[in-house]
Amino acid sequence: MRTKLLAVLMCLALLVSMALPTAARTRHRRHYARRSYYTYSTQHRSFWQKHRDKLTVAGGTLGGAALGGIIGGKKGAAIGALSGGGGSALYTYKLRKRHRRY
């Protein structure tokens, strides 16, 4: 009973932390020969912006472990952690578009 409640609370905490808005990048407008260029400042990046990939994989691993723990106990948590970590790593490093085109 306690482990299921703890798993549900961990899932809710993960959901709330992922739902928080991230700070937008600061951009500066520069003029040169009648054209405007935008440069993006990287000095004041948030914790999320600095560690986005690692946090995404950790969140997928935690979510998989929590869901597996609720469904199948300790063995299910281990399987869920492996599958959640693998899935989120696949998404993070292979499937997610990295370069925005405007």
Please tell me the pTM assigned to this model.
Answer: 0.54
Query: Which two tokens mark 24?
Result: 């937008």
What pLDDT score does 24 carry? 44
What pLDDT score does 59 carry? 92
Could you read off the pLDDT tens digit of each residue along the chain, which spans 102 residues? 788 888 887 777 776 666 555 444 455 555 555 665 556 665 677 888 888 889 999 999 999 999 999 998 899 999 999 999 999 999 888 887 766 665
Using DSSP, state whether 22 is helix, strand or coil.
Answer: coil
What is d(CA 102, CA 99) in angstroms, rounded to the nearest whole number?
Answer: 10
What is d(CA 43, CA 28) in angstroms, rounded to the nearest whole number?
Answer: 12
What pLDDT score does 85 carry? 93
Using DSSP, state whether 25 is helix, strand or coil.
Answer: coil
CA pseudo-torsion sign 30, 35, 36, 42: negative
